[in-house]
Amino acid sequence: MVLNALFLYLTSKHVQRSEQTAQKNSMRKHHQRLQVKFLIVYTLWVVLWGPYVTVNQTVNSTNIVVYYTQIFSLFETLADPFIFSALDNRLYNAFPWIMKFKRRRIHPVIKWTGNDGYFYQTWDTNFPSYEFALVQYPGRSSRFGEEPIRTLKEYIQQLDKWLVPSIRKPCVFIGHSLGSAISFALAKHMVDMEKKNEMIKLMVMLGKGPPHLEDPVESFLTMTDAEIAAELKKMSDPSTATFYDDPDIMQMITPILKADSLVADELQPKTMLDIPIIVYGGDKEENVDEAFLKRWTELTTVKDLFRVRMFHGHHMFHSECGENVLKCLKEDLTNIVEKPEQ
């Protein structure tokens, strides 16, 4: 118990010393949740099993007190599997591709991103009428250590297996960067297979040009590791740019970024979908300008609802301009998803 208490204290101090960046903050929140779970487990352990340990050493075994403490100890032993399963939400998230926040009855919003999923919990809290679900790619967040996917075909195969069956209500696809290309490809697949495609009421694409056109941004596949780090700093929220100065972090994420580039570089057929598309971009992002983003209109038949919104930021403009992005997203969901059908 003393060693566990010491461990908890040391991890708490470690979390407190974490740098105040967006990605570090999300990790701090994750660590804090783990600490709370740790305290719950050991509080229950001390209350239910601790008395037996103490009494058994000091009281005659025939004493009624020993009997009751043995009952508590037995109860604790039997309850352990249920306690740990209740605290470990991975047991409730049997589908590794999907990370759900709060379960709600209407309008799922399926978010596709390569970033830490905990960043988007703030999005969920801003939309009480929507159920946010994050698509988690192999090699990231809770799936760190898994081999990243290197082809669009494999992404679609996996998502057709794990995500599509879970879509039971009208939904919205929101994709950032690579997520925009993957979400469009899955929507096309659902249309081609006539598999729940009518459930997709809107697609919101962030920071990525249309996937049927060659990306004007140089691929990470042709860059050196140093050039990749420099490009990431240029693309990121300036407040978090120093994150990419850490060589250990770069060594960890570079293989994932190169795998992403293999997928992002795949050109998709120019297919128009009968689904509204809204595009968000950052006005400081080089090459991916408003004119290029407007060519997403070539991929939707719903021309009257198409629009491009530009924000004052870089590739990670949704981090730099978070409040404004959320405000615009609320407007678009209200005007398109919640608007009664004529």
Give the tens place of pLDDT for each residue, 324-338: 999 999 999 999 998
Contact by Cβ (8 Å): 201, 135: no
Q: In this structure, is the dihedral angle defined by the CA atoms of residues 229, 230, 231 and 236, taken in order, positive or negative?
A: positive
Q: What is the model's pLDDT at position 223? A: 95
Q: How far is CA 130 from the centre of its chain?
A: 16
Note the pTM of the prediction, 2 decimals. Answer: 0.73
Contacts of 308 (CB under 8 A, 6+ apart): 278, 279, 280, 281, 290, 293, 294, 296
Q: What is the model's pLDDT at position 180? A: 95
Q: Which of 21-35, 159-173, 243-257, 291-305 is modeled with the greatest confidence?
A: 291-305
Query: Looking at the predicted structure, is the pLDDT value of residue 305 above 90?
Result: yes
Q: What is the model's pLDDT at position 283? A: 96
Mean pLDDT over 6-26 rounds to: 52
Q: What is the model's pLDDT at position 142? A: 72
Q: What is the model's pLDDT at position 22? A: 37
Say which amino acid occupies 125.
Answer: T
Mean pLDDT over 49-56 rounds to: 61
Q: Report d(CA 197, CA 215) in Å as an integer.
A: 27
